[in-house]
Structure 1
Amino acid sequence: MPRRALIVIDVQNEYVEGNLLIEYPDVNVSLANIGRAMDAAQEHGVPVVVVQNFAPESAPVFARGSAMAQLHETVASRPRAHYVEKSLPSAFAGTDLAEWLTANDIDTIVIAGYMTHNCDDSTVKHAVHAGLSVEFLADATGAVPYENRAGKASAEEIHRVFTVVMQSRFAAVLSTDEWLAALESGEPPARDNIYASNQRARAGSAASR
């Protein structure tokens, strides 16, 4: 059995009612699934690490001391084994998370929280490079849309592409229901690789011509 820890990243009011609203999956769906994952972790002896991001008091989002920077009630009301405060995207950067995981013999982290393409993705990559296995709860995470000089993408597009890429190399991507079933059964989640993911896409393209 993997020695798991559930890492709940930046589930803060800013994403629910502030200036950086999660659009996909629906934030109420992801919040409910985050709560379910935390409850299941507690039941199965999986330690929960809660991560909270802060920016300077003058920042437009996550300003230290503001109501929007506070943890959402879904997370604040539930027990946790460890707390991490950060100011960079990865939950490992400038924190004691790596040391805490090592001290608790954790070899697999499970990611829930926000955002899929920023702090979640940064934490996933950091973990893989450190030799940890990763599981990513796709319906307990979420994205926002972007538009800048490089182009424009909806929250759904961003979330979908990032989860496809994660599954190709960096994480086992699951729904919360699938993860709960894996906790019960002990069956390892399906993982993939870059080559197989690419070959399936090429075969699908050839078949559609």
Structure 2
Amino acid sequence: MKDSEVKQGLIVVDIQNDYFSSGNLELVGIEQAAKNAGKILQKFRDKQSLVFHIQHISNQSEATFFLPDSQGAKIHESVAPQSNEIIVVKHFPNSFRETHLLKYLKDSEIEEVVICGAMSHMCIDATTRAAFDFGFQCVVIEDACATRDLEHKGKTVKAAEVHAAFMAALAMPYAKVISTDEFGRV
């Protein structure tokens, strides 16, 4: 690593089976987002940089997805962790809340986190804002994230609009929001 380079870590958030077509809460565009996340993941593996997989396990009795010990809660095969990669189990949208993620990042002297995964309006948003508040430089790979249509007061907000609104909000001042291709050129 050159002196001018910051030490990066990749955080792959909740790319789990329940978000795919056979799961309990399919997201719009999850297949392409996972494919792009896989490209980013490979870049980190090629550089032998640190990778942190976030796995949401629901501990709420009314939960309908990411249920403990279910196939849906497993990390999707497209980004399956390797034995040297850290898996952080969480129970809240913020990947730092009541987990060891902050300790792992600080112990590894990570300065910049690259974030991708799901859902754009929940866990990506919460994790990015928390990382920023903890003093990390943040990069969000926008086309390696996915979300779903939302409803508010009887109006459906399409996933593309939800995603764009949250990426726009994160872009100032929380993160550098770029595409997979743009990250490849950095």
Structure 2 length as normaliser, TM-score? 0.91
Mapped to 2, the partners of 1:125 and 1:11 lie a distance apart of 19
Structure 2 residue runs of 5 or longer lacking an equivalent are none
Greater C-alpha Rg: 1
Match of 1:27 in 2: 30
CA RMSD, Structure 1 to Structure 2 (Å)? 1.5
Determine the structure 2 residue equivalent to 1:168.
Answer: 172
**Aligned equivalents of 1:162, 1:57: Cα separation in 2:** 26
Unaligned runs of 5+ in 1: 183-209
Shift, 1:145, TM fit: 0.7
In structure 2, give the amino acid aligned to 1:156. A
Indicate the residue corresponding to 2:163 in structure 1.
Answer: 159
Deviates more, 1:63-72 or 1:52-61: 52-61
Structure richer in helix, relative to its length? 1
- Alignment check: 8 A CA contact 1:146 1:154 kept: yes
Q: How does 1:67-86 map to 2 (within 5 A)?
A: 67-76=71-80, 78=82, 80-86=84-90
Matched, 1:45 2:45: no
Native 8 Å contact 2:53 2:81 kept in 1: no
* Deviation string, structure 1 residues 20-42 (Cα, Å, up to 9, x no partner): 1111xx22211111111111001
TM-score by length of 1: 0.82
**Matches of 2:60 and 2:133, distance apart in 1:** 33
Cα deviation for residue 148 of structure 1 reads: 3.4
Identical positions, percent: 30
1:38–1:78: 8 Å Cα contact kept in structure 2? no
C-alpha distance in 1, partners of 2:138/2:108? 16
Shift >6 Å, 4+ stretches: none
